[in-house]
Amino acid sequence: MNPVPITPTQLTVNRERLPLALWDYGGNGPAVLFLHGFLDTGRSFEDAACALAADDICRPLCMDWRGHGSSGRISADAAYHQLDHLKDLAAVLDELQADGIEIAAVVAHSMGGTVALMLASFAPDMIQHLMLVDCVGGYAADASTQVDQMTALLEHNRRPTPPFRSFASREAAMERVIANNEGLSLAGAERIVRHYLDEQEDGRFMVRLDPRLRGPNPYRFPEHHWLEICGRVTAKVHLLAPEFGYIHRIPALQERFEKLPHATRQDLPGVGHHVHVEAVTSFADAVKNLLNAKA
């Protein structure tokens, strides 16, 4: 897919909390909120967003989570935990509705899917249609693992946070992304880093991420909590399940999927975790089909 490039309008949401960047790709279709995964940015959805907007399938709104991309960075006493993202997402949806923007569906990859799934369970009226991209919630933990997580968190917080590494070129950054994501193609890596880097005065490139994003997650639900969460989701859920993604590697995710009351699944052969940058046409078609089914 080679969509005609669209320069999005940068909106600011979550205005009463920590300001977040929302990239509006326009189009005359219904508004759809796209949520990226951990250490990614909203604009990695760009090629799919441009295609969807150009065909008036939807109005893609692609958000940068706190600490990612062009969104705000936290103060020293705040956090980047998933419960913080959850509160941000609820505030953003309320704010958009108050501004007259009705979100027809939420499309969420990886960590974005975890946060969206929690919100769809805890506040079912806020999300009616949800596409999960290689995600049915986060990692689970038993009591022993959870206590270890808290120990690791305190140890982490007592040490200085090192910056992310810089890169001599965009190509070097792409090579690093590929090394960290087994099976990711060069085209997929380019889509991730396209709006991911800032050029410094010395000519090197830094990722647009707050270094404090790294570190242990302080709290993981036990597996039976995830099953309860899934069972309370009233939204219509469509799961994109790539062949080489987490869905096929973590058996518990299938059981969670089966707990969702209104869910469909689409398997994508030959695709890895980053569906939105690796299989742009299939991803865009899935969004189109989701909206058609909603209609």
Give 15-70 pLDDT, tens digit per residue: 999 999 999 999 999 999 999 999 999 999 999 999 999 999 999 999 999 999 99
> In whole angstroms, what is the distance from residue 211 CA to residue 253 CA?
30
Interior/surface letters 156-168, b for 16+ CB within 10 angstroms, e for the rest = eeeeeeeeeebbe
pLDDT tens sequence across 197-209 = 999 989 999 999 9
Give the chain's domains with CATH numbers.
Answer: 9-140+220-294 (3.40.50.1820)
Could you give the CA distance from residue 68 to residue 61 in angstroms, rounded to a whole number? 16
Q: What is the mean pLDDT of the chain?
A: 95
Q: Which residues contact 232 (CB under 8 A, 6 or more apart)?
A: 121, 122, 124
Measured distance CA(256)–CA(225) in Å, rounded: 10
Residue whose tokens read 């709104």: 61
pLDDT at 120 over 90: yes
